[in-house]
Structure 1
Amino acid sequence: MQHCDHRQPAGLAGSIEFIRLEETLQEFAEDETFIFVANTGNWGDGLIRYATEKFFRHNAFRYVSVPLGRAMSMSPDDLRQLSSSSKVRMVYGGGGAFLNKYRMHKKMPALIERSERMLVLPNTFAVPRRSLGFRRTDILFRRDEGGSKEFAPRSIFCHDMALSLGRITTSGNGSGVGYFFRGDVEKIEDMPVPEGNRDISTEGKESTPMSGFLDAIARFGTIHTNRLHVSIAAAMMGRRVHLYANSYFKNNSIYEASLKQAFSNLTFHQRYTAPSA
């Protein structure tokens, strides 16, 4: 399996945004254990979860990881007891769940009610903050400077958590061209899907070990995808990456806010066009 190398920080791993996030989390935790609820999702979301827990360990945070479903079923007293803390400090994982089609905004108010304070790691916000039930004291991080800033104007910018990994070392440089396009609600309807396409992100979930995901991407020297975390993993491996737009502003805005400055090996395109015969 490939591994993430922190000896030589690359890309955005040591950026001021991650330092600010670390400092904010230190202040938020108040030297107590917090509850971490990973964003529920696919194998690409697993890269976010993997990077987040590595970030917590690297910075010596004390936390208890609780799946979303379990957290929703527990009372504040249960959560307080689980973390052995004076109050429930909850950290919600980064991702792109705040989109009408995913209905996470319907669940969020009940999750927020189970905590005294909540901190949301870098997310894309495509629904208004007020519809999610956040309190003024809750801390929200966004991962772009575009649409999310409009939907959650009091949020703080930080790069996607997967980018805190820095570089992913591989045993070789890969060869050939790999196509990893999505087929779900975020696809662009009339965009052709290349022959031999593999929507790798659907083959796992946020709790699936990352080795299979990374190995599949590492095989290729050039990657074409509209899956954000396929592009991030490939870019951190040093592959040549072509990232395409998804159905809303997410990919483009994260490219502009983070990927453009960090990776000369990654190019953004509005849409995929099959090569001429």
Structure 2
Amino acid sequence: MHAPRPSHAPEFKRLAQYIRDDAAGAPLVFCPSPGNWGDSLINAGSRAFLAHLGFAYVELRREQILDHPDLASCHVLVGGGGGWCEFWHTTPELVSSLAPQVRSMTVLPTTFGEPPTQPEPTEGVRLFARDDSYSLDNRPDAIFCHDMAFHLSPDPVDDPSSGNHLSAFRIDKERDQASARSEDPANRDLSLEGNGFSASSGFYDRLREFDSLDTDRLHVAIAGAQLGLDVTLYPSAYPKIESVYRSSLEGTFPNVGIHSHEGPVR
């Protein structure tokens, strides 16, 4: 089985067509996601997607975008991720502030948490969800597409036989509060060793040191899956992990299993 990559994932092609239709020839501005090192995979995947589909664009970070001299004529692509929930709400705040100032907008695949983090649907703003269950329950106006990190195609580890195992559990407020895994002295929250603008290649290189991992970090799991490592995914503080696993990992990556609250599943 293969990852849902651009050559055979219809969701990415549908996303591209919506962008073309909604932009209608307007200049594109890509505003990448800040955050931890895992978010760098989202940003790198977004850039790879835009390049693969032949989109010309200008990239501006959140602190730069309001300085664009002609924002009202632009179609803005807001980077996706997990910043739209009770724990992190910077993305809906950005969308609410930008929407009146731009021609139109696409929010790239995002997890949409439960209200009240949701601004009302806004004309000219199209939302994409990175899972086809939890997020769509919360935002029925969103459209499913895989997380943009799935648009990356790193070379898999040829022979993962080092015997090295990584435990990479969150130590921030999104961790599973009922679990003590993040308190294990051997735990290494790899995603905090870089940020959303660090090189995604370095993230993959760190993971190449291992041949198996346990994590509740979504992009540690996605990167490990792409590299062919033996991955066990654990839930975090809200249903993001399980919903993306069911939408994009289950049945596609046989090297990935999930340990739900009820027990392990493979």
TM-score of the pair, normalised by structure 1: 0.85
Q: For 1:99-110, list aligned pairs within 5 A.
A: 99-104=85-90, 105-110=92-97
Number of positions where the alignment pairs a residue of Structure 1 with one of Structure 2: 257
Aligned partner of 2:32 among 38, 46, 49 = 38
Extract unaligned runs of 5+ from structure 1.
1-8, 81-85
The answer to whether the 8 Å contact 1:32/1:62 transfers is no
Question: 1:4 is matched with which residue?
Answer: none
Residue 134 of structure 1: how far off its partner (Å): 4.2
Question: 1:225 is matched with which residue?
Answer: 215
Question: Pairwise CA RMSD of aligned residues?
Answer: 2.2
Question: Aligned pair 1:198/2:188, yes or no?
Answer: yes
The answer to whether the 8 Å contact 1:174/1:219 transfers is no
Deviations 1:86-121 (A, max 9, x none): 812111111010012223233431122221201111
The answer to whether the 8 Å contact 2:89/2:117 transfers is no
CA–CA distance in 1 between the matches of 2:262 and 2:174?
14
Could you tell which deviates more after superposition, 245-254 or 22-31?
22-31
Change (3 A) 1:242 1:60: same
Q: Secondary structure at the match of 2:30?
A: strand
The answer to whether the 8 Å contact 1:112/1:134 transfers is no
Extract unaligned runs of 5+ from structure 2.
none
CA–CA distance in 1 between the matches of 2:40 and 2:117?
28
The answer to whether the 8 Å contact 2:204/2:223 transfers is yes
Could you tell me the percent identity over the aligned residues? 32
Question: Aligned pair 1:21/2:7, yes or no?
Answer: no
Q: For 1:107-118, list aligned pairs within 5 A.
A: 107-118=94-105
Q: For 1:227-266, list aligned pairs within 5 A.
A: 227-266=217-256
TM-score of the pair, normalised by structure 2: 0.89
Question: 2:80 is matched with which residue?
Answer: 94
Letter of the structure 2 residue corresponding to residue 95 of structure 1 = G
Residue 261 of structure 1: how far off its partner (Å): 2.5
Letter of the structure 2 residue corresponding to residue 101 of structure 1 = F
Question: 2:125 is matched with which residue?
Answer: 138
Q: Secondary structure at the match of 1:56?
A: helix
Residue 63 of structure 1: how far off its partner (Å): 0.7
Change (3 A) 1:63 1:272: farther
Deviations 1:21-77 (A, max 9, x none): 122222233334301111221100000000110111111101111101212x436xx
CA–CA distance in 2 between the matches of 1:88 and 1:210?
28
Could you tell which deviates more after superposition, 211-220 or 258-267?
211-220
Question: Aligned pair 1:10/2:10, yes or no?
Answer: no
Question: Aligned pair 1:168/2:155, yes or no?
Answer: yes
Question: 1:181 is matched with which residue?
Answer: 169
CA–CA distance in 1 between the matches of 2:94 and 2:19?
24
The answer to whether the 8 Å contact 1:39/1:45 transfers is yes
Q: For 1:119-134, list aligned pairs within 5 A.
A: 119-128=106-115, 131-134=118-121
CA–CA distance in 2 between the matches of 1:131 and 1:245?
23
Change (3 A) 1:218 1:271: farther
Could you tell which deviates more after superposition, 166-175 or 108-117?
166-175
CA–CA distance in 2 between the matches of 1:218 and 1:225?
15
